[in-house]
């Protein structure tokens, strides 16, 4: 049975596309691509149909990751279609809990709760920061968190 993961941030142009790409890379390196489906979405609809922020794309390119998806907004159906829905910060988590229908099958999780130190578990939105440093930090956090989640998931701990 294919397990489905949805990465969510505010606009789906910075953190969640990076998290999606990193999770796909983690799964591909493990040789289990046929067992997983990964996507990303936004809480809001401001950037729907747009590619990720150029700094997010630059960061992914720097790490040899190709990404071609466009931003989309989360839908009620996603809470039934996905097994795991990840937020990047407490505000995302609050929004996800508010949006989730009572019949949701998805586990709502904060990505930074996996493998990151408690003080570093928030994947901060780098959109309003100058330069690429915030995007690189988000990428590095995603590398650690995605690997830790994947390890726990395949071990049946989640």
Active-site positions read 9, 15, 125
33, 35, 38, 94, 101 from 2: Cα distances, Å: 9, 5, 10, 27, 22
Rounded Cα distance between 73 and 78, Å, is 10
88 neighbors 19 (Cβ within 8 angstroms): yes
Rounded Cα distance between 20 and 103, Å, is 25
Q: Which runs of consecutive H residues, i.e. helices, occur in the chain?
A: 15-30, 54-62, 78-81, 90-99, 133-154
Rounded Cα distance between 15 and 67, Å, is 13
Comparing CA positions, the residue from 57, 46, 47 lying closest to residue 20 is 57
């Amino acid at each position: 049975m294919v397990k489905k993961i949805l990465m969510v941030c505010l606009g789906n142009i910075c953190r969640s596309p990076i998290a999606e790409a990193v999770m796909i890379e983690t799964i591909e390196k493990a040789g289990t691509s046929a067992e997983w489906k990964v996507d990303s979405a936004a809480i809001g609809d401001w950037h729907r149909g747009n590619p990720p922020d150029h700094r997010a794309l630059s960061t992914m390119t720097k790490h040899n990751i190709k990404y071609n998806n466009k931003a989309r907004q989360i839908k009620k159906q996603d809470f039934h279609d996905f097994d795991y829905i990840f937020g990047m910060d407490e505000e995302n988590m609050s929004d996800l809990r508010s949006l989730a229908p009572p019949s949701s099958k998805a586990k709502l999780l904060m990505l930074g709760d996996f493998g990151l130190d408690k003080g570093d578990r928030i994947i901060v939105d780098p959109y309003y920061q100058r330069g690429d440093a915030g995007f690189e930090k988000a990428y590095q956090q995603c590398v650690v968190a995605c690997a830790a989640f994947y390890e726990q998931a395949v071990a049946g701990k989640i």
